[in-house]
């Protein structure tokens, strides 16, 4: 019932903001234009289409706002007016009242924010789909940002997830590619990450981990700045961190004005992404421009600043290895290796013909190489690969959905900074170095270091185990003999039970015959 009511609400909101006109106007087909003329007889929308779409997504809740945030970064796929309006969803969602924010902080931390902090700004500086941010000053003088979860978020998200689960179930049962696309698993993955976002202590832990990965001594501190967590002022609905100052990565003119090399910045963004994915297996998975700033401080000019750590992704060693090999094979145009990797990993059925898959991948990817980023749409490449995958029954990997989404975000930001950026050539040297480190002597040394603790426990036991084995050479034979004896005894018991059952059956039959005769 709740699912039906939510679906009805979505339809009503769509009609209220005339999204029907927006959808029909984007379909290049005679019947769509005819239907559009009929629809517009009622009244023509007074607001621009981008504003209507943004307002509709805001009205529908956090899941739809996040969808709009992703669309706003894909100016190659979304018209300019829609992308500009949807960009407002990144940090300018209407805030909730400051009184409620203060009450949430007091309940979570045990005191009023005006006593907890030397200064607390009642008006939020940013407001997004899940939470809003207030600036404050600690009693020791440190400037901080206090993130406060929106009230009743869990209930709102559960309604949408219930609807998504129902739709996913229908797609899986009725859709021609339902089982291959694994829609229920994808929704379950989305569910997990959304609920993780509702726990700001988990977000603080994500922030702390990312800060360690790019902190002093890592050799990466010049690439990315991550705020310090103020743990004594953190709880499930409240996250307090070091205040960061910078310029939003989408404000390219401002970055150039302060002397930032935007072309270098674009390349470093790609490097940071691949470093997080393949070196750490832990990556910031919500990299829209509202969450990424660039430092304008002369001491660290041009360094990326990461914000909002509610959604992070992680990959297993298996996933990292196969992804890296796939990327390198793509960069080298080794389409046979791409086909082999898909078969070896189980992403396609084992009986798939290697040469057929190789030819299909070549037909998709070859036209896109040797072009600047301005002429390449990774979204279109993925779409064509997706269409090709249907022919070969490629199974969607739910654990990689976040990675695909983040890669699209990175491409969108790269296009904003430097339209001529070659995504492929920027990533290729990093991946080649990474593979060399894993396969070469350096990789061997690293793995030996990782296993040293385990071997330190095992090695001292080896002489004793060898001595025991040499002094009892027949222990294994003796055990096998005992097992064989027990098996024979069990067989004899089974035969005896069979005979007894036969005798009982005959006796019962004779008794019944005698009774009937009597």
Which residues are part of the catalytic machinery?
A: 286
Helix %, strand %, coil % of the chain (to 5): 65, 10, 25
Phi, psi (rounded to 5 degrees) for 459: -55, -45
The rounded distance, in Å, linking the Cα atoms of 510 and 490 is 31
Q: Which of 138, 165, 210, 172 is nearest to 396 (CA)?
A: 172
**Which run of H or of E encompasses 131?**
strand 131-137
DSSP 165: H
SS3 127: strand
**Beta strands, E only, 243-386:** 247-248, 282-284, 292-294, 304-306, 312-314
The Cα angle at residue 108 between residues 104 and 109, in degrees rounded to 5: 115
Q: For residue 39, which phi and psi values (nearest 5 degrees)?
A: -60, -40
CA gap 133, 92 in Å, rounded: 11
Kindly state the tokens that stand for 194.
């959304």
User: Measuring CA to CA, how many Å separate 186 from each of 167, 179, 180, 285, 398?
Assistant: 12, 12, 11, 15, 5
Class of residue 330 by CB neighbours under 10 A (exposed 0-12, middle 13-18, buried 19+): buried
Radius of gyration of the chain (CA): 31
Angle 54-59-64 (CA atoms, 0-180°, nearest 5)? 65
- Contact residues for 274 (Cβ-Cβ < 8 A; gap 6+): 427, 430, 431, 434
Answer for the pair 251, 418: CB distance below 8 angstroms, yes or no.
no
Q: What is the 3-state secondary structure (H, E, C) of 193-262?
A: HHHHHCCHHHHHHHHHHHHHHCCCCCCCCCCEECCCECHHHCECCEEEEECCCCEECCCHHHHHHCCCCH
Give how far Cα 139 sits from Cα of 103, 116, 143, 172, Å. Answer: 20, 8, 9, 56
């Amino acid at each position: 019932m709740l699912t039906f009511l939510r679906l009805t609400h979505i339809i009503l909101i769509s009609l209220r903001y005339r999204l029907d006109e927006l959808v029909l106007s984007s379909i290049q087909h005679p019947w769509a234009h005819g239907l559009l003329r009929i629809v517009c007889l009622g009244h023509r929308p007074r607001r621009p289409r981008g504003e209507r779409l943004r307002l509709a997504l805001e009205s529908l809740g956090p899941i739809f706002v996040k969808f709009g945030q992703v669309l706003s970064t894909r100016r190659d796929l979304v018209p300019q007016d829609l992308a500009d309006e949807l960009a407002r969803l990144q940090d300018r969602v209407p805030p909730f009242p400051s009184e409620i924010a203060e009450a949430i902080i007091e309940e979570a931390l045990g005191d009023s924010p005006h006593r907890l902090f030397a200064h607390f700004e009642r008006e939020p500086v940013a407001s997004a789909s899940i939470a809003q941010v207030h600036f404050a000053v600690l009693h020791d003088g440190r400037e901080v940002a206090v993130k406060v979860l929106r009230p009743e978020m869990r209930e709102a998200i559960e309604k949408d997830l219930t609807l998504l689960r129902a739709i996913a179930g229908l797609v899986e049962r009725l859709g021609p590619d339902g089982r291959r696309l694994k829609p229920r698993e994808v929704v379950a993955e989305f569910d997990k990450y959304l609920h993780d976002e509702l726990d700001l202590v988990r977000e603080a832990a994500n922030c702390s981990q990312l800060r360690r990965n790019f902190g002093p001594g890592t050799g990466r501190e010049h690439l990315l700045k991550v705020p310090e967590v103020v743990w004594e002022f953190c709880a499930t609905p409240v996250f307090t961190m070091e205040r960061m100052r910078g310029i939003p990565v989408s404000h390219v003119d401002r970055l150039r004005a302060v002397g930032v090399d935007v072309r270098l910045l674009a390349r470093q963004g790609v490097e940071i992404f691949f470093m997080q994915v393949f070196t750490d297996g832990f990556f910031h998975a919500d990299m829209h421009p509202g969450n990424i700033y660039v430092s304008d401080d002369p001491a660290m000019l041009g360094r990326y600043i990461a914000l909002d750590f509610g959604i992070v992704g992680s990959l297993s060693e298996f996933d990292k290895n196969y992804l890296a090999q796939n990327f390198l094979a793509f960069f080298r145009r080794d389409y046979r290796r791409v086909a082999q990797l898909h078969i070896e990993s189980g992403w396609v059925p084992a009986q798939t013909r290697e040469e057929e898959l190789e030819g299909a991948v070549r037909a998709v990817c070859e036209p896109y190489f040797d072009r600047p980023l301005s002429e390449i749409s990774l979204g279109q490449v993925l779409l064509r690969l997706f269409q090709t995958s249907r022919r070969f029954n490629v199974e969607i990997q739910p654990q990689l959905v976040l990675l695909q989404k983040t890669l699209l975000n990175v491409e969108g930001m790269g296009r904003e900074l430097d339209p001529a950026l070659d995504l492929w050539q920027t990533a290729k040297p990093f991946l080649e170095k990474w593979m060399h480190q894993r396969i070469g002597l350096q990789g061997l040394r690293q793995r030996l270091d990782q296993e040293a603790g385990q071997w330190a426990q095992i090695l001292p036991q080896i002489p004793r185990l060898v001595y025991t084995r040499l002094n009892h050479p027949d222990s294994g034979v003796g055990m096998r003999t005992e097992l064989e004896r027990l098996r024979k005894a069990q067989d004899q018991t089974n035969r005896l039970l069979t005979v007894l059952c036969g005798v009982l059956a005959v006796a019962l039959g004779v008794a019944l015959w005698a009774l009937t005769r009597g």
